[in-house]
């Protein structure tokens, strides 16, 4: 234990105090694993805590210091975002796309049209809970990155943190804003395609409809693990999107200047107004049957401006193009391409449920008993039979209202959307946690039962270790079923989804990425083995912006290659299955890429360049040639991460208090629903808060961990392998970045907070009896040492792996030692640890009281130990109100008294000494959380 530093004064200015902190950290620098008894982070925290107690620094001073590091982190984040998009922002990506298009045009009109009219990729907006920054800060961040001015983000006093109302409605609004940016950028990409076509094919370009990249969203339609999205809200969202898009089409037609389309523009405006009115009806309380009837009959009846298909408007535009001038024809060509690609919505939509919801919905129809939990071969056979024999059932909104099974209701919604909103645009139906082919076949049965199979793409999501292991066999088994082959032949595509979030949580990000690549390749092999030709394969890779969810820290091409490797793309090409590679942009962190026109253009232009390029799948790479060794590395990585996930010390570290440092960053619950008493079950914590908790403990080990242990007894071979293999070099880049921000000193600093001997030592050095009592009370409450022991054991476990990794890389990846981001992050951890110590000290001064509201003094101390500070403050406010309402009337009693107890009037002293200081600490802890996330470049 380090004795408290007898500090009498600390620098007052934030920049000078920051320099003091960084110097203190530098002075105690070690290898992070070779000096476990030297802890610069914990020592700095102790100094700052001592400074608070002695008046050498104030909470206001520390708050200004937090702001200083947060502003620096925001600027660093903007700089990283600008570097990610360097090629797009500089115009290099656009120039490369133009050059590639001209090369394709030189092969003739047929080759060019096939290349630009066949969809090759997609951008999907998802509302994962990563809205840790307010809209205004996200906008400033995007502008600073796009305009090359990250330094302007420092010293501005930004309010780092989320907006106060992080609701589903606001998430949908943010998704629509991102889609606006993406749609405008996609129009510019299409303009580039048509510009090249006008140059190379002056007599034929008007026939082209570019469709390289699709836009989609599941915001408002994702019911996996959610009960807060009513079916009426999903309909309302879709109608709002339809209204926006119809108004956009009308305005674009008017702006084109093309004659003869005035009536069409007027009809589209009328349709937009009608859809907006319908949306308001579906926003009502649709638990009331009368309101359901009103909304349903209005939408499904005849009304002015009813449009459910764009085939007529597209024909009118095509006719107008034939007689229009060059520029007007170009404008109309862009509108027509958008109409064909987007349909009657701002984006395609993805409905998502989980496999359990699907199984529950079809079990009775398949004649299965409840105890047939595996949903195996019998379920597949019966589901295939039912799918083949299904007779279409008609659906109304009354059916939707009455249906209680989520999966059935979602397929009914598909039917209603196709009948009454948009008859042409396909709908993606995602099945989360899909581990058996019967789940997919059950979904196909429901799709045929409700008459939507011809317009719905059913996509299994592989994200758990079991699903990734079985995914290849699942695809093989489905392709062996004639009813499934007929279905995908009719759709012209096979769709799969791969989840980097949960897979990275269970088996580590590097191991998950290798498992996902393997599943890509197995899918390509299965298609080739079954002779399935002429189908596109939609590969939707859901990832995120942080290293903990699959976004590579390199450039944009490296990011896309990380998600779908050149080798995998080459395997699909060899199988005769052209890939449509869709990637996700998750929540606030993902939407930043489209929050500024220059960033949106850079994102889509870089994506187009990647999609149009031929994958370099034949380059020599020992990763694929030495498959036995590669397989050994993969299994070792996976085994280490899976053992870590089951490690009781890891579970205690991630769940004991770290989630309570997180800000509310989305409308979705951070924890999965579970039975009472499962709060410490790590599988109940969702992927993004799990990753965020690791950030806040300074141990992003689901990325940085495992490779050291995978070395085994051959460190030289692994080192050579890393040097020779481009594939391993890509993984190494991600691991090295995570290593930079992995600080065992910070983790051990958190362990110190729960070390009884630390507080006993402070009691011995206390200058007053009250301080001594407070410190001894903390030591007594922490006497079981369980949290301290768990955190220290975890640090020791991680140090062994990091030691092997650092020694194996022999300094090549050791830039982390001097990385300013790492030092700033460690300083923030030290500041937070000092604030937590202050919170512990404050609550320990609470006087003894008889149990009230089913709470004891010990319960309140335990709440603060778990950093559930708002709950503790709320309880304290009830137990010790500042004033008891109405008691001031007692002053009117004429009889004098000398026994008027303060408790009768309130507890202003406890409020001033304990409750209000405690309440002030929690927002500072949360501001540190957001500041740390800047250095990771994303939340979770």
Q: What are phi and psi of 213, to 5 degrees?
A: -135, 130
Strands 456-462, 493-499: pairing is parallel
pTM for the model: 0.94
d(CA 940, CA 929): 11
| Sole residue written with tokens 């990585």 | 637
Asked if pLDDT for residue 679 goes beyond 50, the answer is no
Could you tell me the CA-to-CA distances from 138 to 153, 178, 434 in Å, in that order? 11, 12, 35
**3-state DSSP assignment of residue 61:** helix
Residue 148 — left, alpha, or beta (φ > 0 → left; ψ -120 to 50 → alpha)? Answer: left
Residue 158: CB atoms within 10 Å: 19
pLDDT value for 85: 96
More confident residue, 671 or 289: 289
pLDDT of residue 674: 43
Model confidence at 684, pLDDT cuts 50, 70, 90, reads confident
**Range from 538-542, 775-779, 817-821 carrying the lowest mean pLDDT:** 817-821
Residue 216 in tokens: 């989609």
- pLDDT at residue 677 tops 90: no
Confidence label for 298 from pLDDT (cuts 50, 70 and 90)? very high
**Distance (Å, whole) CA 702 – CA 684:** 17
- 913 occurs within a structural domain: no
Q: Name the average pLDDT for the chain.
A: 91
Burial environment of residue 807 by CB neighbours within 10 A (0 to 12, 13 to 18, 19 or more): middle
pLDDT of residue 36: 67
Q: How many helices (H) and strands (E) does the chain have?
A: 44, 8
- CA nearest to 61, candidates 882, 831, 838: 831
Statement: residue 627 has pLDDT above 50: yes
- Residue at 8 is within a domain: no
What is the percent of the chain with per-residue pLDDT over 70, rounded to a whole number? 94
459: nearest Cα among 488, 418, 501: 488
C-alpha 130: how far from chain center: 6
Residue 1: its pLDDT value, please?
41
Q: Among 434, 435, 403, which Cα is nearest to 416's?
A: 403
Say whether 564 sits in a helix, a strand or coil.
coil
More confident residue, 193 or 8: 193
- 809 lies in some domain: yes
Domain span holding position 708: 14-71+623-860+922-936
CA atoms of 348 and 124, how far apart (whole Å):
9
Percentage of the chain surpassing pLDDT 90?
A: 77
**What is the pLDDT at residue 812?**
53
Strand partners, 349: 217
Cα–Cα separations (whole angstroms), residue 182 to 76, 98, 212, 349, 599: 25, 19, 13, 15, 9
Token couple for 377: 């071969």
Say if residues 699 and 644 touch (Cβ distance below 8 Å). no
* Length reported for the chain: 940
Residue 368 domain-assigned (yes or no): no
pLDDT band for position 2 (cuts 50, 70, 90): very low
Residue 453, Cβ neighbours under 10 Å: how many?
Answer: 24
874 is a domain residue: no
User: Which pLDDT belongs to residue 891?
Assistant: 67
341 exposure class (CB count in 10 Å sphere: 0-12, 13-18, 19+) = buried
Count of domains for the chain: 1
**pLDDT-based confidence at residue 612 (cuts at 50, 70, 90):** very high
Which pLDDT band holds residue 882 (cuts at 50, 70, 90)? confident
Alpha helices (runs of H) in 343-372, residue ranges in sequence order? 355-362
Write b or e for each residue in 753-778: b if 16 or more Cβ atoms lie within 10 A of its Cβ, otherwise e. Answer: bbbbebbbbbbeebeeeebeebbbbb
Question: What is the helix (H) or strand (E) element at residue 894, kind and residue range?
Answer: none
Cβ neighbour number for residue 280 with a 10 Å cutoff? 12
- Domain assignment present for 636: yes
Report pLDDT for 676: 33
Report pLDDT digits (tens) over 508-547.
999 999 999 999 999 999 999 999 988 999 999 999 998 8
**3-class SS at 121?**
strand
CA dihedral 12, 17, 20, 26 (to 10 degrees): 170
pLDDT at 618: 66
Supply the Cα-derived Rg of the chain in whole angstroms: 30
DSSP string, 318-336: HHHHHHS-HHHHHHHHHHH
DSSP letter for 913, please. I
* Higher per-residue confidence, 894 vs 459: 459
- pLDDT at res. 27: 63
Backbone angles phi, psi at 220, to 5 degrees: 100, -5
- Whole-angstrom Cα distance, residue 244 to residue 346? 7
Q: Which two tokens stand for residue 310?
A: 């764009």
The neighbour count for residue 1, using CB atoms within 10 Å, is 13
Cα atoms found within 13 Å of the Cα of residue 506, Cβ hemisphere only: 18
Which residue has tokens 């309440």?
A: 919
Instruction: Report residue 744: phi and psi, to 5°.
Output: -70, -25
pLDDT at 682 > cutoff 60: yes
* 585: phi then psi, degrees, rounded to nearest 5: -125, 110
* 816 — pLDDT class (breaks 50, 70, 90): low
The β-bridge partners of 498 are: 462, 541
- Measured N-to-C along each axis, helices 597-612 and 556-563 cross at an angle, to the nearest 10 degrees, of 50
pLDDT at residue 913, as a whole number: 93
Within 10 A of 525 (CB to CB), how many other CB atoms are there?
17
């Amino acid at each position: 234990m380090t004795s408290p530093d007898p500090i009498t004064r600390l620098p007052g200015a934030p920049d000078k105090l920051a320099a003091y902190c960084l110097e203190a950290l530098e002075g105690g620098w070690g290898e992070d694993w070779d000096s476990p008894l030297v802890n610069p982070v914990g020592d700095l925290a102790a100094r700052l805590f001592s400074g608070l107690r002695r008046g050498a620094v104030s909470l206001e001073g520390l708050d200004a210091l937090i702001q200083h590091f947060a502003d620096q982190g925001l600027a660093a984040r903007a700089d990283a975002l600008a570097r990610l998009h360097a090629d797009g922002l500089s115009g290099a990506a656009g120039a490369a796309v133009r050059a590639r298009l001209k090369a394709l045009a030189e092969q003739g009109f047929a080759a060019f049209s096939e290349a630009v009219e066949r969809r090759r990729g997609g951008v999907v907006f998802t509302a994962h809970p990563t809205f840790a920054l307010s809209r205004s800060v996200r906008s400033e961040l995007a502008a600073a990155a796009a305009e090359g001015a990250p330094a302007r983000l420092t010293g501005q006093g930004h309010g780092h943190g989320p907006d106060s109302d992080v609701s589903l409605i606001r998430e949908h609004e943010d998704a629509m804003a991102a889609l606006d940016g993406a749609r405008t950028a996609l129009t510019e990409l299409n303009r580039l395609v048509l510009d090249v076509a006008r140059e190379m094919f002056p007599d034929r370009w008007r026939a082209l409809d570019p469709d390289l990249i699709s836009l989609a969203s599941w915001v408002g339609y994702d019911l996996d693990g959610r009960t807060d999205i009513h079916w009426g809200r999903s309909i309302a969202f879709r109608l709002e999107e339809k209204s926006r898009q119809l108004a956009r089409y009308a305005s674009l037609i008017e702006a084109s200047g093309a004659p003869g389309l005035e009536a069409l523009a007027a009809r589209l405006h009328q349709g937009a107004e009608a859809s907006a009115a319908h949306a308001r009806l579906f926003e009502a309380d649709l638990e009331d049957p009368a309101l359901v009837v009103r909304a349903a009959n209005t939408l499904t009846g005849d009304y002015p401006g009813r449009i459910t298909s764009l085939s007529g408007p597209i024909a009118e535009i095509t006719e107008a193009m034939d007689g229009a001038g060059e520029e007007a024809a170009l404008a109309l060509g862009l509108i027509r391409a958008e109409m064909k690609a987007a349909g009657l919505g701002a984006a395609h939509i993805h409905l998502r449920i989980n496999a359990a919801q699907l199984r529950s919905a079809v079990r009775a129809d398949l004649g299965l008993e409840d105890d047939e939990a595996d949903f195996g071969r019998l379920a597949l056979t019966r589901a295939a039979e039912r799918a083949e024999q299904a007779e279409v059932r008609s659906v109304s909104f009354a059916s939707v209202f009455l249906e209680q099974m989520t999966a059935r209701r979602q397929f009914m919604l598909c039917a209603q959307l196709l009948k009454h909103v948009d008859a042409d645009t396909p709908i993606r139906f995602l099945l989360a946690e899909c581990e058996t082919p019967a789940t997919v076949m059950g979904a196909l049965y429901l799709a045929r039962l409700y008459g939507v199979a011809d317009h719905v793409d059913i996509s299994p999501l592989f994200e758990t270790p079991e699903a990734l292991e079985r995914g290849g066999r699942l695809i093989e088994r489905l392709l062996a079923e004639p009813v499934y082959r007929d279905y995908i032949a009719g759709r012209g595509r096979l769709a799969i989804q791969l989840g980097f979030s949960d897979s990275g949580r269970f088996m580590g990000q590097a191991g998950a990425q290798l498992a996902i690549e393997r599943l890509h390749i197995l899918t390509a092999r299965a298609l080739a083995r079954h002779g399935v030709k002429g189908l596109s394969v939609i590969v939707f890779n859901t990832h995120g912006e942080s290293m903990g969810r699959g976004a590579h820290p390199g450039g944009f091409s490296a990011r896309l290659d990380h998600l779908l490797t050149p080798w995998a793309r080459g395997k699909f090409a060899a199988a005769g299955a052209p890939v449509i590679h869709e990637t996700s942009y998750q929540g606030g962190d993902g939407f930043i890429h489209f929050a500024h026109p220059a960033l949106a253009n850079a994102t889509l232009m870089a994506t187009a360049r990647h999609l149009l390029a031929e994958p370099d799948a034949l380059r020599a790479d020992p990763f694929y040639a030495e498959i036995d060794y590669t397989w050994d590395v993969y299994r070792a990585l996976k085994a280490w991460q899976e053992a870590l996930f089951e490690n009781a010390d890891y579970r205690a570290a991630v769940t004991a208090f770290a989630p309570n440092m997180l800000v509310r960053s989305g409308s979705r619950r951070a924890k999965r629903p579970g039975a009472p008493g499962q709060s410490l079950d790590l599988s109940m914590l969702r992927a993004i808060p799990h990753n965020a908790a690791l950030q806040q403990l300074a141990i992003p080990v689901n990325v940085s961990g495992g490779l050291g242990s995978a070395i085994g007894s051959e460190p030289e071979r692994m080192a050579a392998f890393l040097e020779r293999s481009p594939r391993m070099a890509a993984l190494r880049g991600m691991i090295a970045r995570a290593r930079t921000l992995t600080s065992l000193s910070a983790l051990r600093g958190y362990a110190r907070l729960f070390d009884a001997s630390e507080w006993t030592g402070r009691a011995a050095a206390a200058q007053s009896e009250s301080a001594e009592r407070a410190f001894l009370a903390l030591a007594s409450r922490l006497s079981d040492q369980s949290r301290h022991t768990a955190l220290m054991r975890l640090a020791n476990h991680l140090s062994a792996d990091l030691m092997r990794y650092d020694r194996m890389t022999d300094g090549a990846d050791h830039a982390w030692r001097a990385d300013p981001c790492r030092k700033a992050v460690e300083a923030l951890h030290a500041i937070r640890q000092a604030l937590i110590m202050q919170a512990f000290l404050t609550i320990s001064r609470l006087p003894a009281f008889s149990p009230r509201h089913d709470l004891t003094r010990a319960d309140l101390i335990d709440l603060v130990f778990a950093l559930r500070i708002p709950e503790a403050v709320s309880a304290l406010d009830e137990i010790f109100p500042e004033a008891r309402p109405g008691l001031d009337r007692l002053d009117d009693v004429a009889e004098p008294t000398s026994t008027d107890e303060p408790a009768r009037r309130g507890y202003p002293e406890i409020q001033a000494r304990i409750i209000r200081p405690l309440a002030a600490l929690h927002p500072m802890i949360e501001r540190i959380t957001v500041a740390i996330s800047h250095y990771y470049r994303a939340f979770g």
